Amino acid sequence: MLFPLSYLIFFFFLIMGILISISSPSWFGVWIGLELNLMSFIPLISFKMNSYFSEAALKYFLIQAMGSALLISSSFLFISMTLISLSLILFSLLLKMGSAPFHFWFPQVMEGLMWPQVFLLSTVQKVAPLTLVSYLMITETLSKLTIVSAIFSAIIGALGGLNLMFLRKIIAFSSINHLSWMLIAVSMSDTFWLFYFSVYSFILLSVTSMFFKLQTFTLTSLIKSDQNSSLFPLIISLNFLSLSGLPPFTGFIPKWMLIQAMLNQSLFLPTFFLLSSALVTLYFYLRIIIPFILIFNPVMCFNSKFKSFSFMSPSIIVKSSFNFLGLLFPFYSLLL
């Protein structure tokens, strides 16, 4: 079991905090919801007595407390200096979700988490800030600030993941890069970012589930893991290719739609940076994929040091099958 049964109460308040934030009519209510969400997520990080979990929980708490303090203090200026107040609120939300240039804490916190918490931090914990950022898209200045943050996130998410051996840091910089696409989508339409976020969440669920089953945290341990199943290299490779947004996998569909929308609105410069960063991220995904495909040999001696794991388990197959829906997308296009 991922978490003790008694921790269901924390999951309940985690979701409750998100709902309070996105449905509140005032920034004070938003602040209360975010604080409830924060205090519910801390026990989920440090549910085991471990120094790494405690360090990650402390770092996460300090950063989120800083973001909450900036948000509630900025809201006091709303009546007298509206644009400055909304800009500072936007910065506080970018800090909370780990968007560039406020990304410095995100990879370090991710490094101290287990894979289920990595998935929660990369997806669930971004729902409230992204929704609140979409509420702020009422002036052209705020939209431009969001687009600038998206460009920075694309660059840093791409360059930061190069030459890394730790899978959690690679997923962290990958999340920052995907966040850039979501921020661009937020500045354009709620439908776009919700669709992109949903697809990204399903793809990341399949990737983190496999890493959790294998209990692997570095590229070396992934290469040395038990590969007795012939589906092992195939499923992981296709999942990462889908996460990179390579056609014709499912991860390409929201990027394709977003690229068309950006070109229709003449956002050529952000499109250039996002596509260039996608090419760089594809490189460090290939660094994960290529080695254990080339070295693949079921009888290699070091494989005996790892527990046997069958990728024929229904949960892994079901989660990974979502990445292959993009292969059917051309047929849907022909029917329209």
Percent of the chain with pLDDT over 70: 87
Provide the whole-model pTM. 0.89
Q: Which of 217, 180, 216, 218 is CA-nearest to residue 200?
A: 180
Please give the pLDDT value at position 171.
Answer: 93
Please give the pLDDT value at position 254.
Answer: 92
Please give the pLDDT value at position 227.
Answer: 53
Q: What is the mean pLDDT of the chain?
A: 85
Q: Which of 214, 200, 175 is CA-nearest to residue 316?
A: 214
Instruction: State yes or no: pLDDT of 116 exceeds 70.
Output: yes
CA end-to-end span of the chain: 44
> What's the burial of 157, exposed, middle or buried (CB within 10 Å: 0-12/13-18/19+)?
buried
Tokens representing residue 289 in the block: 């994929």
Q: What is the pLDDT of residues 196-252, one digit of tens each?
A: 999 999 999 989 988 888 888 888 887 776 555 667 777 888 888 889 888 888 889
Tell me the pLDDT band of 284, cut-offs 50, 70 and 90.
Answer: confident
Q: Which region among 164-168, 236-240, 273-277, 305-309 has the lowest average model confidence (pLDDT)?
A: 305-309
Q: Map tokens 């937020």 to a residue.
A: 186
* Whether the Cβ atoms of residue 207 and residue 167 lie closer than 8 Å to each other: no
Please give the pLDDT value at position 336.
Answer: 43
Neighbours of 29 (CB within 10 A): 13
166 has which bridge partners?
218
Tokens representing residue 94 in the block: 């970018």
**Where exactly are the structural domains of the chain?**
5-335
Q: Which region among 38-42, 87-91, 228-232, 288-292 has the lowest average model confidence (pLDDT)?
A: 228-232
Q: What is the pLDDT of residues 175-206, one digit of tens each?
A: 999 999 999 999 988 888 999 999 999 999 98
Please give the pLDDT value at position 2.
Answer: 67
